Amino acid sequence: MIDSYMHNLSADKTIPSKVKIRYKNFAYFVKKLFQLREKQNGFKLNNIKEKLNDEINVEYKKWLLDRIIEIKVVHGDISQNFQ
């Protein structure tokens, strides 16, 4: 589903490229969070959080950060270094 979204976003000529980048980055992080939620890998979760914090061009950044916290709460303390 995310891959279809990315394809449609890329094909849409009416959306400015700067906006496409922000939404592509959002979709990238959503996909990574889905994958990590299933694997319960705290180290990779921290890596995704760091990448997300470093990324300037991403839509709904706060929402994504909230999902990272939610994954941590639901799955317990999956990483002692999680902050």
pLDDT given for residue 35 in this prediction:
82
C-alpha 5/C-alpha 37 separation (Å) is: 20
| pLDDT tens sequence across 48-64 | 999 999 999 999 999 99
Tell me the pLDDT of the chain averaged across its residues. 83
Q: What is the extent of the structural domain holding 48?
A: 2-74
Residue 56 vs residues 14, 29, 38, 80: alpha-carbon distances, Å:
23, 13, 27, 27
In a domain, 80, yes or no: no
> Is residue 83 in a domain?
no
Q: pLDDT (tens digit, 9 = 90+) per residue, 66-75?
A: 998 888 777 6
Query: Is 64 part of any domain?
Result: yes
Is residue 57, in this structure, part of any structural domain at all?
Answer: yes
Contact between residue 76 and residue 41 where contact means Cβ atoms under 8 Å apart: no
For residue 81, the model assigns a pLDDT of: 43
Closest of 44, 53, 33, 43 to residue 80, by C-alpha: 43
Residue 13 lies in a domain: yes
Quick check: is 79 in a domain? no
